[in-house]
A and B are shown apart, each in its own frame.
Chain A
């Protein structure tokens, strides 16, 4: 199953693109983000402390950006390690499309979790993901545009029940949503 999401943000595409690549903005929008650094042009490193449900853990996350086509789209390949809490890995593609006087941000992602994350959390993954994605994009969008809205996309991402036998979870998340998401699922 693929999860995807779409947001309508006022402002030109370049501005959204820049914001998505602005580590300061991203850092502010990720709850629990302790550090976020650009290691190279295509690599980011983050530490996020997350405490949801009964478990709290610090996740070290590495993101590699691929297929960069500014300001249109890029793909992120990420890996996040939370020690005993488990790990997450995945890819996400973000596409920015110009509208009249705004930008449509579309994301779709494939994801997997392992260890305790899968053992205890997989059942909750989709619901949590959706909420986190919304939270992130909510604050991200409002940062750029106080009136940004989330667009209901076909399929109602996150509304379908999680497939009981799959951990490969398609999630809709932009780079930092992926990060946060990892932290939340244990």
Chain B
């Protein structure tokens, strides 16, 4: 193992700038002569716009321009494209409405973009926006799934009858029906997966710039995938050829999915910059983030599990309705379908599964991927159902899971819902988690709590996720309108230092360290001599960015492939320098040695020879030492694990405290255990947040967002969460060079069902068998009261 190579908890290279205040986030950037944009948003959930009067705003001090949707339409600006098409059961395409950057005559959610004011200061733009008079004619609105699918529901889109975007299904319905007929027992459950608001700490921001002399555009933006933004905005919205559009995503303060998507503001500032001939900067304030960042989750499901008397799962039938919001965000259609229903097998060998998903439009902020994206919804549903089955059958949550786990020796395992798992050992993770959680000692702890008048519960959840999205041909067959490979370049500089260019984007994940560790391991270059460059389309090759826990499993593998090319070429150069055959050259610890001899050259000497090719095999080899590789994964990766939560509930107040939390995960090979642990911590706390605190609430009548600030939308704070115990059990991914799987989302997938299962367990002794999510004190208290009544 190299000193700072694979498997070492290397302290992060990027930290120094962040801890000294020298990070460079989009809002930290100012361009000469820039204007500030303020976006006037709809205060109504649904309304026709009869007129927009902007003259007073335009005349206000400091104001340079006021634009509306009509101005953009007149310029031929297109709508925001959707990157994933999903077909209905009958094969017909989903309803795909237009998604204007600014509306023209109808607003469809509170937050919809209505007008943009450009002024010399932020405050002047905001002040002037108050002077814009919009004549709204209010229309009835729908915000939740139940009302949107009611018979006489108001329509968000005239072209979407019943507000249905698509009605999709996966699996073998007939096989499932047959299995249910034979079943000894059927257990069913209704679950809601609560709507969440991502709330990355850095609000979104964008700066557009246009150089009239060259025709070049630049967009600085808070994005997880600058190339994707360049492609979507350039090709579909503004019609700017890619070589004339540079997109920079500098330091980004967290994403969790919410910064994957192409947002209207990016196009507005870029377009406006050309219109006024000056850079245009927009920064969301938090209130705006709440009503303009894509939300997450929001499912309502009914599920039934058919079992034999022995507790074998025979079949699973799931009916889910998902809320997509008012427009289709970039990857929205894929989340409740291919990223959700394909995971319904979980870690179990259920032989037959059928799932129907109906996704609907509502007058709410668009909903798209949020940490886990579909997989937390699947895991929550399944693990709640399995726990209920364990209770109803009396088999118990451990035994029932063990009985149905896919055996470690049956991989590759083809699930009934499209995926082929390559490897895993679910019982090993369960066993590890049980041991760390001292499951055996729980009864004693429960009694201790009871003596203090408290209700204690323990909850288990096992999960699996499909990460490393994705084999492009598979994703394409499922409706993805983009390739999902990744690219990496290893640029060896003449003196032997290395610049890594990656299409992945780090917004907290520590790529600058992890990817440098790969280079150190492969080339023996000191980690201080490796720099990772990302987030700038002018610097890096066309990459797909970071989401779906794909950076290491896809982006890292592209780098591994590029490193292989560098090593191969280095051997050829060394062979020439050492007058040996390149097959005889061994590359180890930064030295290239003729096998079985002490004759060697350092990697630095090879690099220098490549750029100063005085003694160099020019007839067979190009000078230089820089290699690029595009890597398209052969399959998804399948991280899995077991999370155990232990909670204590105060029956007098309904307050739930998470006392202990254990995560035992299988992420495949781990490059930097410190970073991986950090990813798990963050994910778990977001998962606890979903279980106990976080909930997006719309007023059902007016369509107003009621949880629109950090005062009203409750995110976990430091004293809401316990110390977390994190462990791993490794099986290596079989289809990539390192055996890595991905770790970014696991916490958010396993934690939520573990916590709710624990809450239900705590209350089961007093006759409660379900609690709504999030299990807030009021709801838990109500459940206790109802059970007592």
Contact A113 B711 (CB under 8 A): no
Let me know if B699 is at the binding interface, CB within 8 A. yes
Q: Which residues of chain A are within 8 angstroms of B700 by Cβ–Cβ distance?
A: 165-166
| SS class, residues of chain A in contact with chain B | mixed
Give the Cβ gap from B129 to chain A, nearest Cβ, in Å: 6
| B712/A122 in contact, CB under 8 A | yes
A window 36-83: CB within 8 A of B? 83
Instruction: Determine if B130 and A119 form an interchain contact, defined as CB atoms under 8 angstroms apart.
Output: no
* Assembly CA distance A119 to B705 (angstroms): 5
For the complex, what is the distance from the CA of A123 to the CA of B126, rounded to whole Å?
A: 25
Flag whether B247 is at the interface (Cβ < 8 A): no
B291 nearest in chain A by CB position: A119
Known contacts A87-B43, A164-B706, A167-B706, A118 near B129 by CB under 8 Å: no
Q: Are B126 and A166 in contact (CB under 8 A)?
A: no
Q: When the two chains form their complex, are residues A119 and B290 in contact, meaning their CB atoms are under 8 A apart?
A: yes
Which of B130, B697, B702 meets A114, CB within 8 Å? B702
Chain B residue contacts of A84, Cβ below 8 A: 40, 126, 129-130
For B697, list chain A residues within 8 Å (CB): 164-165
> What chain B residues lie within 8 Å of A123 (beta carbons)?
706, 711-712
Q: Is A168 an interface residue (CB 8 A)?
A: yes
Give chain B interface residues in 704-758, CB to chain A under 8 Å.
Answer: 704-706, 708-709, 711-712
A158 CB–B CB distance under 8 Å: no
User: Is there an interface contact between A122 and B704, defined as CB atoms closer than 8 Å?
Assistant: yes
A83, A116, A164, A168: which contacts B702 (Cβ < 8 A)? Answer: A168
List, in ascending order, chain B residues with CB within 8 A of A115's CB.
43, 110, 704
Flag whether B50 is at the interface (Cβ < 8 A): no
Kindly state the separation between the CA atoms of A168 and B45 in the bound complex, as whole angstroms: 14
Q: Are B708 and A120 in contact (CB under 8 A)?
A: yes
Interface presence of A5 (CB below 8 A): no
- Residues on B with C-beta less than 8 A from A118 are 110, 699, 702, 704-706, 708
Closest CB in chain A relative to B534 CB, distance in Å: 35
Q: Are A113 and B704 in contact (CB under 8 A)?
A: yes
Is A167 a contact of B129 with CB atoms below 8 Å?
A: no
**Chain B residue at smallest Cβ distance from A84:** B130
* Separation of A17 and B712 alpha carbons in the complex (Å): 40
**What 1/0 mask marks residues of chain A from 151 to 167 whose CB sits below 8 Å from any chain B CB?**
00000000000001111
Most buried by A among B697, B698, B702: B702
* Interface presence of A86 (CB below 8 A): yes
Interface centre among A86, A120, A166, A168, by most chain B C-beta atoms within 10 angstroms, is: A120
Query: Are B709 and A167 touching (Cβ within 8 A)?
Result: no
User: Which B residues between 20 and 53 are near A, CB-CB below 8 angstroms?
Assistant: 40, 43-44
Bound CA–CA A60/B385 (angstroms): 53
Task: Say yes or no for B598: interface residue by CB 8 A criterion.
Answer: no
Cα A122 to Cα B703 in complex, Å, equals: 13
Docked complex: A76-123 residues within 8 A CB-CB of B? 83-84, 86-87, 112-116, 118-120, 122-123
Q: How does the 8 Å CB contact mask read for A173-186 relative to B, with 1 for contact and 0 for none?
A: 00000000000000
Inter-chain CA distance A113–B703, complex, in Å, is 11
Alpha-carbon distance A84/B705, docked complex (angstroms): 15
Q: Which residues of B contact A166 (CB under 8 A)?
A: 699-701
Would you call B287 an interface residue if the criterion is a C-beta within 8 Å of the partner chain's C-beta atoms? yes
Chain B: interface secondary structure?
loop
Return chain B residues, CB-CB under 8 Å to A168. 699, 701-702
Closest to A169 in B: B699
Decide: A83 and B706 in contact? CB cutoff 8 A: no
- CA A83 – CA B129 in complex, angstroms? 8
CA distance A114 to B42 in the complex (A): 10
Asked if A119 and B287 make an inter-chain contact with CB atoms under 8 angstroms apart, the answer reads: yes
Are B708 and A112 neighbours in the complex by a CB distance under 8 Å?
no
| Smallest Cβ-Cβ distance to A119: which chain B residue | B708
Bound form: Cα–Cα A83–B649 in Å: 44
B709 and A120 contact, CB distance less than 8 A:
yes
Nearest CB on A from B41, distance (A): 8
B287 CB contact (under 8 Å) in A114, A120, A167: A120
Residue of B nearest to A162 (CB): B706
Return A79 CB to nearest CB of chain B, in Å: 11
Complex: chain B residue closest to A166, CB-CB: B699
In chain B, positions 36-94 with a C-beta closer than 8 Å to chain A are 40, 43-44
A113 surroundings in chain B (CB, below 8 A): 704
Q: Which of A113, A118, A122, A123 has the most CB of B within 10 A?
A: A118
Q: Taking A86-B43, A87-B43, A114-B44 as contacts, is the C-beta distance between A120 and B702 under 8 angstroms?
A: no
Q: How far is the CB of B286 from chain A (nearest CB, A)?
A: 10
Q: How far is the CB of B54 from chain A (nearest CB, A)?
A: 14
In the bound assembly, the distance between CA atoms of A120 and B705 in angstroms comes to 9
Q: Write out the residue numbers on chain A whose beta carbons fall within 8 Å of the beta carbon of B126.
A: 84
Q: Which residue of A lies closest to B708 (CB)?
A: A119
CA distance A114 to B291 in the complex (A): 13
Residues 113-143 of A at the B interface (beta carbon under 8 Å): 113-116, 118-120, 122-123
- Which of B43, B129, B287, B698: most chain A Cβ within 10 A? B43
Within 8 A of A (CB), among B684-708: 697-702, 704-706, 708
> Closest approach, in angstroms, between the C-beta of A113 and any C-beta of chain B?
7
The answer to whether B701 and A167 have CB atoms under 8 Å apart is yes
- Do A116 and B287 have beta carbons less than 8 Å apart? yes
For the complex, give the distance between the alpha carbons of A51 and B704 in Å: 22
**Cα distance A120–B287 when bound, in Å?**
8
**8 Å CB interface, B613-639 against A:** none
Distance in angstroms between the alpha carbons of A126 and B290 in the assembled complex = 23
Docked-complex contact A167 and B702, CB < 8 angstroms: yes
Q: Least Cβ distance of A120 to chain B in Å?
A: 4
Most chain B C-beta atoms within 10 Å of own C-beta, residue among A113, A119, A120: A119
Whether A165 and B708, one on each chain, are in contact in the complex, defined by CB atoms closer than 8 angstroms, is no
Residue of B nearest to A55 (CB): B287
Q: Which residues of B contact A112 (CB under 8 A)?
A: 699, 701-702, 704
Instruction: Closest A residue to B700 by CB, please name it.
Output: A165
Instruction: Considering the complex, give the chain B residue whose CB is closest to the CB of A164.
Output: B697
What separation, in Å, do the CA atoms of A166 and B701 have in the docked complex? 7
Within 8 Å CB of B706, what residues of A?
Answer: 118-119, 122-123, 164-165, 167
B173-198 at interface with A (beta carbon < 8 Å): none
Q: Please, how many angstroms separate the alpha-carbon atoms of A83 and B711 in the complex?
A: 22
Structural contact, B712 and A114, CB atoms closer than 8 A: no
- Contact check: which of A114, A116, A120, A165 meets B711 at CB < 8 Å? A120
Q: Could you list 17 examples of A-B contacts with CB < 8 Å?
A: A83-B130, A87-B43, A112-B699, A112-B702, A114-B44, A115-B110, A118-B699, A118-B704, A119-B291, A119-B706, A120-B287, A120-B711, A123-B711, A167-B699, A167-B702, A168-B699, A168-B701
Top 7 A-B pairs, shortest CB-CB distance: A119-B708, A83-B130, A115-B43, A118-B704, A167-B699, A120-B709, A167-B704
Given pairs A118-B699, A118-B708, A119-B110, 9 additional interface contacts (CB within 8 A): A112-B702, A115-B110, A116-B708, A118-B702, A119-B287, A122-B712, A123-B712, A165-B700, A166-B700
